[in-house]
Amino acid sequence: MTEPEEPKTNRQICRMHCPDCTTFKENNLKFAATHDLYCVHGKSEVAEYSIEKGCNCLGCELFSREGLKGGWFCLYGLAGKK
Ligand code: SF4
Ligand code: SF4
């Protein structure tokens, strides 16, 4: 019998999406102090120097589960892109 899978943490879920996103890669967001869960913690410290490319948040479980809006939280903070 196989063990039931542990539910994924929010961080694990985020890391299935943000690191593959073109905005994340283009701006090397992985090197900033905050590099995941922007929809919870707010925008990246380097947001003002970053350029907007794609966003994978719309495909993320947290996005639908929490009824989030906007996306691009790494650039625009908790409110997301207007
Ligand atoms: S909605 Fe975006 S920032 Fe929030 S956990 Fe999902 S991928 Fe990460
Ligand atoms: S918040 Fe959206 S745009 Fe920013 S790194 Fe995550 S998936 Fe990409």
| Count of other CB atoms within 10 angstroms of residue 55 | 25
Q: 81 pLDDT exceeds 90?
A: yes
- What is the DSSP annotation of 34-71? --S-HHHH-S-TTGGG-------GGG-HHHHHTT--S-
* Structure-block tokens of residue 22: 């073109």
26 alpha carbon, closest ligand = 2
pTM for the predicted model, two decimal places:
0.94
Q: d(Cα 3, Cα 55) in Å, to the nearest integer?
A: 34
> Tens digit of pLDDT for each residue in 34-75?
999 999 999 999 999 999 999 999 999 999 999 999 999 999
* Structure-block tokens of residue 76: 């625009």
Q: Please give all residues whose beta carbon lies within 6 A of any atom in ligand 2, as ranges.
A: 17-18, 21, 23-24, 29, 38, 55-57, 71-74
CA of 38 to the centre of ligand 2 (A): 8
Substitution candidate for ligand 2 out of 22, 24, 31, 51 with most atoms within 8 A of CB: 24
